[in-house]
Amino acid sequence: MSRASLLRHAALVAICLVVALPIFWLLRTSLVPPELSYDPRIWPEFSTENYRTLFAGNGFGRNYLNSIIVALGSVLLATPLAALTGYAFARFRTGGKAARFAVLATQMLPPVALALPTFMIYRELGLTNSLTGLVIVYAVVNLPFLTWILMGFFEGIPADLEEAAITDGATNWQAFLLVVLPVARPGIAAAVVLGFILAWNEFLFALILSGPSTATVPVALAALQTSNGVEIGKVAAGVALAIVPLMVVSRFIQKYLVRGLSFGGVS
Amino acid sequence: MSRASLLRHAALVAICLVVALPIFWLLRTSLVPPELSYDPRIWPEFSTENYRTLFAGNGFGRNYLNSIIVALGSVLLATPLAALTGYAFARFRTGGKAARFAVLATQMLPPVALALPTFMIYRELGLTNSLTGLVIVYAVVNLPFLTWILMGFFEGIPADLEEAAITDGATNWQAFLLVVLPVARPGIAAAVVLGFILAWNEFLFALILSGPSTATVPVALAALQTSNGVEIGKVAAGVALAIVPLMVVSRFIQKYLVRGLSFGGVS
Amino acid sequence: MADIVMKGVSRDYGHGIYGVRDADLEIRDGEFMCFLGPSGCGKSTTLRMIAGLEDITSGSLSIGGRDMTHTRPRDRNIAVVFQTYALYPHMSVRDNIGFGMKMRGVGRRERDARIVAAADKLGLTKYLDRKPAALSGGQRQRVALGRAMVREPDVFLMDEPLSNLDATLRAEMRLELVRLHREHGKTTVFVTHDQVEAMTMGDRICILRDGHIMQVGRPLEVYDNPVNIFVARFLSSPPMNILPATLAEGRINTEIASFDLAAAQKQAYAAARNRPLTLGVRAEDFYAEPGIGRVAVRGRLQVIEALGAENILFLDIEGQQIAARVDRRFLPETGADVVLHLDTAAIHLFDAETETAFARPDPESLRA
Amino acid sequence: MADIVMKGVSRDYGHGIYGVRDADLEIRDGEFMCFLGPSGCGKSTTLRMIAGLEDITSGSLSIGGRDMTHTRPRDRNIAVVFQTYALYPHMSVRDNIGFGMKMRGVGRRERDARIVAAADKLGLTKYLDRKPAALSGGQRQRVALGRAMVREPDVFLMDEPLSNLDATLRAEMRLELVRLHREHGKTTVFVTHDQVEAMTMGDRICILRDGHIMQVGRPLEVYDNPVNIFVARFLSSPPMNILPATLAEGRINTEIASFDLAAAQKQAYAAARNRPLTLGVRAEDFYAEPGIGRVAVRGRLQVIEALGAENILFLDIEGQQIAARVDRRFLPETGADVVLHLDTAAIHLFDAETETAFARPDPESLRA
C-alpha cells in the first residue's frame, strides 16, 4: 500500500470513528448498570437493567406500541389520499399553479400555531388522549408533503404509458391502478417511509394531544429527561430502541430513496 | 353562465371559504379587544390592544428579532456549506452511495434524542441561552436536508456545461462559481427559503436551548398558551405576525419552488 | 371495412391557436397512409385525434362508417404505436403484449396462444419473460408492434415509431413494417417527418404544414407533381432548386439559363405567361452529359459531397446556389468551372406570389 | 502547427473494460478528421481524451509536437463543440461567446470586437443580447460554433454537433462547417455516427468499432477499398450485399451468379484461391441495363423503395437477399421477376473467417 493510500485510509478510519463513536457510546451507556453511566471506562460491566426498568417501571412497551400504531396508521391513511391528490395535480392541471402553491403553503405554518386549535377541536370531539386522534392529526399534517412527493413521481411517468393503456382498452381507473401505480412504486415506497419517519419522530402534537396511556416514544423520552433528574441510562436504552424501526425502514431508503428522491433540476 | 358552470363556481367559492375562514378568524381575533375574543359577532369592535400588550407586556419584539437573527444566520451559514457538499456528491462520486445514505440517515434520528446531548454539550461550552448557539444548531440540523436538495439540483445540471467552461479556460473553481452556481440559482433559492422556514418554525431545540432573553417566536407562542391560562387574543396576534415572513418568502416559493422543487421520477 | 373519414376536423387550443384546422381527408380501408411534415405541422395531433387522445373541437370523424368524433379511445378498436414505445416497464414482454386482450376480457388460453404467435412472427419468443428495460431499442420497437398487432384492431396508428432507432435498424424496420402491413392488410396511419420513410412506406402520403393539409396522393405522384413550393422542396434531399423566372414567347428566362419549351409545355403553361414565376429543378435533373432536351449551365463548384454511390455538387451559377445530384464517376475539383446539363422536360413552374404549381405535362411524354 | 499524434492510447475503465484500446493515429495540421462508428465504438471517448476531459490510462498524446497526455484541458488550447451545445443558459449570446476570452484575460475592447466579428460571420448579430433559451436549435448551434471559433484555438473538437438538428438544417450546417474549416484552416476532429456526414465533410475518416480503430483514410479511398466487412457495410446505405463465395480456376461462384475474373483480378486475388470467401457487392453496382463486364442475375422483387430520385430494389435471388440501387425510371412491380446486371469489375472479396478484405484492383483500370 502506498503512503498516500495509507494516509487516505487513516483519514477514513478517523472519520468513521467520529461518526460511529456516539452511536457506540449510546449502546454502551444503555448496556451498563445505571450507576456506571458516567464511568470513564469503555465497558465496565454488562447489564440490561436499563432496559428492564424502562419496560417494567416506565411502561415503555406501551409507548412503543402506541408509536407503531400511530405511525403505521397515519401513513396507511395518508398515502392513498396523497396518491390520488398527487396524481390529480400531476395529470389534470387540477386547480392550476395556485392549488400547488396552497399545498406547499400549508407546510410553512409554524406547527406551534396549529397545536392549540387542534387541541381545542379535539377536546370538543373527545379525541384527546386517543390513538385515533393522533393517527388523524399525523395523516392530515403529513398529507401535503406526501402529496408533493408523489406528484413529483407521477409527473416523471410519461403520459404515453396511460395513453397506451387507454387505447389498449383500459378505463382511466384501470390505467391508474394497473399501469401508473405500479410504475410509481418507488415513489409510493418513498412516501410511506417518509410518512412513517415523520410520524414516528413527531414530538409537539404528541406532547399536547396524548395522555398517560397514549404517549408515544418521543414523549416518553422527553419525560425521562425531565422527571427524575436525567436518567441517562434509560434515555440511552430508549433512544436505542427508538432507532430500531428506522433502521428497518432504512433498508427501503437505500433501495428506493437514494435513487428516486432527488429534487428536480433546472427547467 | 350555464347551470353546470354556476354550480362549479359555487363549489369553488365554498372551498375558498373553508380555506380562508380560519385565517380570517385569526386576524379578526387578533384585532378585537381581548375580552371579545370569543364573541360570536363577526367583528364587534376594532382594537390593536392585543398587539400592543404583546409587544409591551410580553416583549414579543425581542422574540421576533431573535427568530429573524437565528433563522437568517443559520441559513446563511448552512447554505454555502450545503452547496459545496451537494456539488461534491453530485459530481465527484464522493463517498459513493454510503455517504449519500448517511446524509439521509441523519434526518431519521428523532430530534428529541439529539436535544439532550446538545444541551449537555452546550452547557459545557456556555452556548445555552445564546443566539449563536441556536444559529449553530439550526445550521447543523438543516445542513443534511439542504445538502440533499442542492445535490438534486446540481445533478440536474449537465456535466457538459462545466466541461465547456473548463475547455474554455476556466479553472474548476471558476467553472463552479461562474457557471454551475448561477445555473443552480433556483435551487439555491429553494434551499435558502426552506432552511429559513425550518429554522423559523423550529420549536423543540429552541425550547430547550434558549433562555428568557433568547426565546424565539414559537417558544413565545407556546408560553402564551400555557402561562396565564390561554390568552387567545395575544396568541392570534403572535401567530399573525409569525406568518408575515413566511408570506414574504412565499413569493420566492411561487417563483422558484413550485417549478423546481419536484421530486425526481422513476429511473 | 375500416376507412377513416375526416370532415372539417379542427383542433382549437383557444386564443386563436389551432393544432389542425379544417382537415378533410379520406383514408381507404386497408391503406397505408403516411402523414408527413416538419415538426409542429399538426401530423401528430391529427393522429391523436383519430386515436381519441386529443379532442376534436369541430368537424367530424368516422371510422368504418361509424361516427367516432367523441367516442372514447377504448371503444374505437384502434391500436397506437408510440414514438417512445410506451411499454409498461413493470410488466414482462408477455404481459405487455397481452395487456390489451386482458382488458377486453379475452380468456387466458386464447391470450397465450395469440401472444406466442405474435412473438414468433416478430422474433420475440426468446424474450417473452424479460422486462422492457432488458431489451435493445429494436426489440422494444418490436414489442410495441406486437402489442398493437395481437389485438387485431381495425386501424393501426403509428406516431414516428422508427425515430428512436439507429439508421441501419430504421431501414430494416421500414421493410418489415411494409411486409407486416401487406400480411394483415389493416388500415394504417403512419406519422413521420422523414421523407424517405413516407416515400417508401406509404400507399399514399398526406403532407401537412402549419395545421393544414397541403397535398394527398401516391408518393411518386406527389413527388412528380407537387402542388406548391413547400411540398416540392420538402419531398427531396437536397431540396428542389428554386429560381426566379419569366415565361415569354414560349421561352423560359432565368439567371442561369434560357430555353424554349416543348409544345406540350407551352400549352400547359399558357396561364403562366407574363407573371412573376419561380422555376423549380430537382437536383437529379442536372446531368454531367449533354442530351436531347438538355440545356447547358456553367458554374463554379463550391462544395462536392462525394457519397460513394453518387455525388452532390453545390455550384454557384451567376450568383444562384444550385445543388445537383450526379453520377459517382463525375468528380470535379472544388473551385473548378463545371458544365452541367439541365433536363428542360423535367422542370416545375410555380406562381412566384402564391407559390402554387402550374400543372406540368409528364416529362416522359415530352421525351417520347 | 497543430498536428495530433496518439500513440498506443487506451482508456481503461477497470475490470477489463476499455473505452478505447491501443489507438495509434496521426491527425495532420489543418486536417478535417471525422471519427465514424456506431454508438459505443469509442469515438466520443477518443475525442474527449484529446480534449483532456477523459483520462488517458496508457499511451501518449501530443498536440502540435508537445506532449499533452496529462495536460489540463484549459492548457491545451482546444475548443470543444458539444452535441448538446452546452451553452451557458444564464448568459447572453454575447457573454457565451466571450466567456473563453474573459477566462484567458483578453481585454474588454478586443473581446467585443472579436465577438462582433464572429457574430457577423455566423449571422448572429441580431441575437447577441438574447439568452440561449430564446434561440432556435440552429441558432444555438451557431452560438456554440462562435464560442469555439472566437478563441482561435489550435484544434476544434466537435462531438456529433449536428445530431440535434432536423434534416434540412443538418444538410445546411454540413456545408457551412466545411466552408468555415476552409477559411480558418485549423485542425478539426469531428465525431459522428452518420456515414453521410463523415463521407462529405472529412478530409480523412477514421472508422472505429468496439474501441479499436478499423481504418483511416480519405473517404472515397475507404469507400472503394474497405479493409473488412464491417467498414464495407457501415459506409453505405443500404449496406453492401454480402454472399458466400468460392474462387476456383479464375472463376467466382456464388448462389446468385458465377463469372470469370479479369486478368488483373485473378492476379490480385491469387491468395484467395481455395479459401472460404465472402463476396461483397454494393447496391449501386447492380444495373438495370446489361453492359461490358456485367453478369445477369435474376430474382423476385420483394420490396421497392421509390425515393423519387432513385429506386432501391430488394430482391430474393436464390434465397439471397439483395439490395440494388437503380435509376428512378426502372420501376418494376412488387412480386415481378427482375433481371439485374452485376458489374463484376466492382466486386469486393473478403476472407470468410477473418472478414478482412483482399486488396482489389481499381475497377476503372479493369474497364479501360
pLDDT digit string (tens) for C123-144? Answer: 999 999 999 999 999 999 999 9
Question: C207 and C248: one domain?
Answer: no
Chain B residues with CB under 8 Å of A242 CB are 110, 113
Distance in angstroms (rounded) separating the CA atoms of residues B20 and B12? 12
CA B133 – CA B139 distance, rounded (Å): 10
What is the pLDDT, as a whole number, of residue C18?
92
Q: Is B181 on the interface with A (CB under 8 A)?
A: no
Which chain B residues are closer than 8 Å to A263 by Cβ? Answer: 148-149, 152-153, 187, 190, 260-264
> Looking at the domain assignment, is residue A236 inside a domain?
yes
Total-model pTM: 0.86
Cα D235 to its chain centre, rounded Å, is: 7
- What residues 83-102 of chain D have any CB closer than 8 A to a CB of chain B? 84, 86-90, 99-100
How confident is residue A92, by pLDDT bands cut at 50, 70 and 90?
A: confident
pLDDT for A263: 44
The three three-digit cell numbers of residue C163, written as one number: 425515430
- pLDDT bin (cut points 50, 70, 90) of residue B64 is very high
D174 in C contact zone (CB under 8 Å): yes
What are the angstrom distances between the C-alpha of C213 and each of B223, C45, C68?
73, 12, 21
8 A C-beta contact, residue C226 and residue C215: yes
Instruction: Looking at chain D, list the stretches that DSSP marks H as alpha helix, in order from N- to C-terminal side.
Output: 43-51, 93-103, 108-122, 137-149, 167-184, 195-201, 219-224, 229-234, 263-268, 363-367
CA–CA separation, D138 and D173 (whole Å) = 8
Same domain, C210 and C244: no
Q: Cβ D73–B185 below 8 Å, yes or no?
A: no
Same domain, D220 and D242: no
Report the residue from D166, D171, D179 with minimal CB separation from C38.
D166
CA atoms within 13 A on the CB side of D94: 11
Q: In the numeric block, which cell numbers belong to residue B174?
A: 471558476
d(CA A125, CA D74): 70
**Residue A209: pLDDT over 50:** yes
- Neighbours of A, requiring at least 3 CB pairs below 8 Å, are B, C
pLDDT of residue B267: 31
At residue B262, the pLDDT reads: 47
In DSSP terms, C321 is beta-bridged to: C316
Closest CB to B161: pick one of D52, D88, D103. D88
Nearest residue, CB atoms, C90 vs list A168, A171, A183 = A183
- CB pair distance less than 8 Å for A170 and C147: no
pLDDT band at B255 (very low <50, low <70, confident <90, very high): low
Distance from the C89 Cα atom to the nearest Cα atom in chain A, whole angstroms: 7
Residue B33: DSSP 8-state: -
Best CA proximity match to B167, nearest among D156, A106, A168, C285 = D156
In this predicted structure, the answer to whether residue D80 has a pLDDT above a threshold of 60 is yes
Cell numbers that stand for A47 in this block? 447489564
At CA D17, angle to CA D13 and CA D22, rounded to 5?
85
Contacts with D166 from chain C: Cβ below 8 Å? 38-39, 193
For D238, which of C171, C219, C236 is closest by C-beta distance? C171
The 10s digit of each residue's pLDDT in C325-358 is 999 989 999 999 999 999 999 999 999 999 999 9
**Amino acid symbol at C27:** I
Q: Which of C131, C51, C142, C88 is nearest to A161 (CA)?
A: C88
Chain C contact set for D239 (CB, 8 A): 168
Of residues A2 and C51, more confidence is placed in: C51
First to last CA, chain B: 46
Q: Of all residues in chain D, what percent carry a pLDDT higher than 90?
A: 86
- Tracing cell 388522549 back to the chain, one arrives at A129
Mutation target to probe the D interface, by most D beta carbons within 10 A, among B91, B92, B168 is B168
Task: Judge whether A38 lies within some domain.
Answer: no
Q: What is the CA radius of gyration of chain C?
A: 24
- Residue pLDDT, tens place only, D6-18: 999 999 998 889 9
Please indicate, yes or no, if residue B213 is contained in any of the structural domains.
Answer: yes
In chain C, whose CA is at the least distance from the CA of A159?
C86
Q: How far is B86 from chain D (nearest CA, A)?
A: 21
Q: Same domain, yes or no, for D43 and D169?
A: yes
Contact C277, C349 (CB under 8 A): yes
Is B108 in contact with A246 (Cβ distance < 8 A)? yes
Same domain, D178 and D304: no
Interface with chain C: mutation pick from D303, D304, D315, highest number of C CBs within 10 Å: D303
Do the beta carbons of residue D186 and residue D151 sit within 8 Å? no
**A265 pLDDT band (50/70/90 cuts)?**
very low
* Cα(C25)–Cα(B244) distance, integer angstroms: 60
Strands D337-343 and D348-351: unpaired
Determine the Cα–Cα distance for residues D86 and D101; give it in Å rounded to an integer. 17
The average confidence (pLDDT) of chain C is 93
The candidate with the shortest Cα–Cα distance to B231, out of B34, B43, B40, is B34
Q: Is residue D220 within 8 angstroms of chain C, CB to CB?
A: yes
More confident residue, A229 or D312: D312
CATH number of the CATH domain containing C301 = 2.40.50.140
Q: What's D358's DSSP letter?
A: P
Element (H, E) at A258: helix A258-260
Render D53-112 in DSSP notation, one character per residue.
SS---EEEEEETTEE-TT--GGGS-EEEE-TT----TTS-HHHHHHHHHHHTT--HHHHH
Helix (H, G, I), strand (E, B) or coil at C286: strand
- Assess whether pLDDT exceeds 50 at residue A267: no
ipTM of the complex: 0.83
Is residue A23 over pLDDT 80? Answer: no
Torsion over CA: A183, A186, A190, A193 (sign): positive
Would you state the pLDDT for residue A39? 80
Report CA-CA distances (Å) from A92 to A95, A146, B34, B195, C57: 9, 18, 46, 31, 19
Do D344 and D242 form a contact (C-beta atoms < 8 A)?
no
CA distance D58 to B263: 41
Q: How many structural domains does chain C have?
A: 2
Map residue B3 onto helix, strand or coil.
helix
Domain that holds residue A214: 58-262
* Chain C residues closer than 8 Å to D310 by CB: 284, 310
**Which residues on chain B are in Cβ contact (under 8 Å) with A140?**
none
Is the predicted pLDDT of residue C90 greater than 50, yes or no? yes
Distance CA D264, CA D344 (A): 12
- A185 contacts chain C (CB < 8 A): yes
Write out chain B residues lying below 8 Å of A115, CB-based: 225
CB contact under 8 A, C306 and D237: no
Question: Residue A96: what pLDDT?
Answer: 67
Could you read off the pLDDT of D320-362 as tens digits, one per residue?
Answer: 999 999 999 899 999 999 999 999 999 999 999 999 999 999 8
Give the residue-averaged pLDDT of D134-142: 93
Instruction: Report pLDDT for A72.
Output: 95
- Which residues of chain B does D154 touch, with a Cβ-Cβ cutoff of 8 Å? none
Tell me: pLDDT of A41 over 70. yes
Structure confidence by residue, pLDDT tens digits, D262-278 = 999 999 999 888 889 99
Supply the CATH number for residue C96's domain. Answer: 3.40.50.300
* Domain boundary, last residue among D227, D257, D282: D227
Chain C residues with CB-CB distance to D314 below 8 A: 175
Q: Which residue of C has its CA nearest to D303?
A: C175
d(CA B190, CA B150): 9
CB of B114 within 8 Å of any CB in chain A? no
Average pLDDT of span A74-101: 85
Contacts of C367 in chain D (CB under 8 A): none
* Confidence at residue B170, expressed as pLDDT on a 0 to 100 scale: 94
Residue C153 sits in which domain range? 4-227
Cα gap B157→B163, rounded to integer Å: 12
What does each C-alpha distance from D191 to C190, D40, D168, D173 come to in angstroms? 32, 12, 20, 15
Query: What was the pLDDT predicted at C330?
Result: 93
Sheet holding D337-343, edge to edge: D286-287, D337-343, D294-306, D310-317, D320-327
CA–CA gap between residue A180 and residue A129 (Å, rounded): 39
Cα B8 to Cα A100, B3, B11, B16, C343, distances in angstroms: 19, 9, 5, 12, 68
Q: Kindly report the CA angle at C187 between C183 and C193, in degrees rounded to 5? A: 105
Cis peptide before D38 (omega within 30 of 0): no
B163 and D52 within 8 Å at the Cβ level: the answer is no
Question: How many Å apart are CA D367 and CA D265, to the nearest integer?
Answer: 12
Domain end point (choices C180, C200, C227): C227
Number of domains in chain B: 1
What is the mean pLDDT of the segment spanning C29-40?
A: 94
Q: Are residues D199 and D265 in the same domain?
A: no
Whether the CB of C170 is below 8 Å from some CB of chain D: the reply is: no
C13 close contact with A: CB closer than 8 A: no
Instruction: List all residues 6 or more positions away from A216 whose beta carbon is below 8 Å from its beta carbon.
Output: A63, A66, A67, A70, A134, A202, A206, A210
Instruction: Show the DSSP H helices in A96-231 as ranges.
Output: 96-106, 111-125, 131-155, 159-167, 172-174, 181-183, 185-201, 204-209, 217-226
Determine contact: C74 vs chain A, CB below 8 A: yes
Q: Which of A251-265, B67-81, D46-60 has the lowest mean pLDDT?
A: A251-265
- B258 to chain A, any CB pair closer than 8 A? The answer is yes
| Cβ(D351)–Cβ(D278) below 8 Å | yes
Cβ separation A170–C103 shorter than 8 A = yes
The minimum CA-CA distance between B206 and chain A, rounded to whole Å, is: 12
CA C272, CA D256: separation in Å to the nearest integer?
A: 53
- Judged against a pLDDT cut of 90, whether residue B15 lies above it is answered with no
Q: Report helix, strand or coil for C314.
A: strand
pLDDT in the model for residue A256: 61
- With CA atoms as reference, the chain A residue closest to B222 would be A112
* Nearest chain C residue to A172, by CA: C74
User: At a CB cut-off of 8 Å and minimum separation 6, what does B109 contact?
Assistant: A201, A243, A246
D221 and D164 together in one domain: yes
Choose the final residue of a domain: C227, C252, C278.
C227
Average pLDDT over residues C279-291: 95
Query: According to the model, what pLDDT value does residue A229 have?
Result: 67
| Span D207-239, pLDDT tens digits | 999 999 999 999 999 999 999 999 999 998 899
Mean pLDDT estimate for chain A = 84
Question: Which CATH number covers residue B122?
Answer: 1.10.3720.10
* Residue from the list D235, D308, D364 with its beta carbon closest to the beta carbon of C199: D308
DSSP letter (8 states) at residue A213: G
B165 interfaces chain D, CB cutoff of 8 Å: yes
B22 vs D170, residue with greater confidence: D170
Q: Is residue D128 located within the same domain as residue D254?
A: no
Chain A / chain C CB contacts < 8 angstroms: 59
Is the predicted pLDDT of residue D366 greater than 90, yes or no?
A: no
Length of chain B counted residue by residue: 267
Name which of C98, C81, C17, C5 is nearest C44 in CA terms: C81
Q: How far is D172 from chain B (nearest CA, A)?
A: 25
Q: Which residues contact A168 (CB under 8 A, 6 or more apart)?
A: C74, C79, C99, C100, C103, C147, C151
Confidence tier at A95 by pLDDT (50, 70, 90)? low
Does the pLDDT value for residue A49 go beyond 50? yes
User: Residue B19: is its pLDDT beyond 80?
Assistant: no
Q: Do D99 and B167 touch (CB under 8 A)?
A: no
Per DSSP, which regions of C64-175 are E strands? Answer: 66-67, 78-81, 155-159
Query: A1 or C191: whose pLDDT is higher?
Result: C191
Looking up cell 442530351 gives: C291
Strands C4-12 and C58-63: antiparallel
pLDDT at B203 over 70: yes
Strand partners, D159: D191
- Are residues D222 and D87 both part of a single domain? yes
pLDDT tops 60 at residue B258:
no
Mean pLDDT of the region C185-194: 95
At A262 the pLDDT is: 47
C241 touches chain D (CB under 8 A): no
Give domain status of residue A106, yes or no. Answer: yes
- The model's pLDDT over B129-151, given as tens digits with 9 standing for 90+, comes to 999 999 999 999 999 889 988 88
